[in-house]
Amino acid sequence: MSGSLAASLDYMDTNASESDASRVFHDAFAPHYDDFTAGYQAASWTGKLLGLAQLHGAPDRGRLLDVGCGTGKSFLAMIDRGWEVVGCDVSPAMLEVAAGKVGEEVRLAVADARDLPSLGRFDLVWALNDTFNYMMSTAELERALAGAKRNLDSEGVLLFDLNTLATFRSSFSSVETREAGGRRMTMRGQAQSGLGPGSLFEAHFEAEAEADPAAAPVDRQRHFLEAQALAAIERVGLDCLDVWGDYEGEQSQPLDEERHQKAIYVVR
């Protein structure tokens, strides 16, 4: 990381033994993430998610904490909508890319969602694009939820997504390839299509055609059933206000683990 960008990042205490695997993967993925996810319509999708939060009292604009913000795709449109944004991520390399887009306009902090410190009081806290699927147990999920709660204003809303079985049985059981900037990028799912609820799923990322698959960084995520997520929400003293299913950027109810690609939770 360049000195100027490194100086713009806050480093929070993290539990290295639990965050290292996620950090290693995302640090390796960071230079390629925006190209690999070029089809992701972030502005449109986050606008729809904001609308779901507004159904339960979130304001038109205010203070947003983006947990697991990565390269900033999940908060850039929120700046345009007039929100004051703080972003955090376990990966310094991801935040370096984000800092290159926003400079000092957004406070960026290196922090693990499992041990999220108090970064302020926010009208909206969200964790998008699989952030909470990197929690390896329900205990870790509860810790992430407790950290989000610690940062909510008294009337604040928490919104997060979790990948469904349908997503894990497709994306993590297949090979996806993209070409951009003269390089070939491949994500190789390692899962068997029959793996069930609560399973751990892996995919290996290769940035070049000649990359050694054995050395490829590993994207490791866990599936959580709706009942597990709801129980974790209750155990940390939060109230689940709504659950939506998301398919290709459109939300509907009820959640269907076999059809929807994501579950969206709105919490206070």
Per-residue model confidence as pLDDT tens digits over 138-161? 999 999 999 999 999 999 999 999
Mean pLDDT is lowest, of 7-16, 94-103, 259-268, for 7-16
Q: Are residues 202 and 244 in the same domain?
A: no
Per the structure, the complete domain to which residue 74 belongs is given by 3-163+225-267
Do 36 and 187 meet the contact criterion of CB atoms below 8 Å apart? Answer: yes
Q: Are residues 213 and 248 in the same domain?
A: no
List strands edge to edge, sheet with 84-89.
9-11, 107-110, 84-89, 63-67, 122-127, 152-163, 262-267, 240-247, 250-252
pLDDT at residue number 195: 79
Residue 64's Cβ-count burial label (10 Å; 0-12, 13-18, 19+) is buried
Q: Are residues 31 and 136 in the same domain?
A: yes
Q: Are residues 63 and 106 in the same domain?
A: yes
**pTM for the full predicted model:** 0.92
Q: Which two tokens stand for residue 92?
A: 């310094």
pLDDT at residue number 215: 65
Does position 225 have pLDDT exceeding 90, yes or no?
yes
Q: In terms of DSSP bridges, do strands 218-222 and 200-206 run parallel, antiparallel, or are they unpaired?
A: antiparallel
Q: Does the bond joining 254 to the residue before it have cis omega, within 30 degrees of 0?
A: yes
pLDDT at residue number 27: 96
Q: Are residues 170 and 237 in the same domain?
A: no
Number of domains in the chain: 2
Torsion angle, alpha carbons of 140, 21, 28, 120, to 10: 30
Q: Which two tokens stand for residue 183?
A: 């390089």
**194 vs 65, higher pLDDT:** 65
